[in-house]
């Protein structure tokens, strides 16, 4: 019973944190016009370092112990996946994709 409640609360908080973060992230359009598509790939939506980690910490704030660690791990995995999807949408490839995902998720 306790495990199912914890799982339900964890899933709910992940969904809420992802939804809140998705609403707060800037769109893929750059602030200034970009001349070349190569520049657009690297400058389109520059990730804010630490923003996703902070959102995950906020979502796990009420939990303690192993539940908090599990929540953080799930949330950061979702953040990594979201960053990878963003890189794919922006057509970032090669070493730039790895750097983009790393800087975006952490």
What pTM was computed for the model? 0.54
Q: Is residue 40 part of a domain?
A: no
Q: Over the stretch 39-98, which tens digit does the pLDDT of each residue have?
A: 444 444 555 667 888 899 999 999 999 999 999 999 999 999 999 999 999 999 999 999
Q: Is residue 89 part of a domain?
A: yes
Q: Is residue 85 part of a domain?
A: yes
Distance in Å from the first CA to the final CA of the chain: 34
Instruction: Supply the DSSP string of 31-74, one letter for each residue.
Output: SS--SSHHHHHHHTT---TTHHHHHHHHHTTT--HHHHHHHHHH
Q: Is residue 28 part of a domain?
A: no
Q: Is residue 14 part of a domain?
A: yes
Number of domains in the chain: 1
């Amino acid at each position: 019973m306790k495990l199912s409640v914890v799982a339900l609360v964890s899933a709910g908080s992940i969904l809420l944190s992802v939804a809140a973060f998705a609403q707060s992230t800037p769109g893929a359009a750059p602030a200034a016009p970009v001349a070349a598509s190569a520049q657009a790939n690297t400058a389109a939506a520059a990730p804010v370092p630490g923003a996703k980690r902070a959102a995950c910490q906020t979502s796990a704030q009420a939990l303690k112990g192993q539940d908090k660690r599990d929540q953080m791990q799930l949330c950061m995995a979702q953040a990594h996946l979201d960053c990878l999807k963003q890189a794919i949408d922006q057509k970032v490839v090669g070493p730039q994709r790895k750097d983009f995902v790393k800087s975006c998720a952490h």
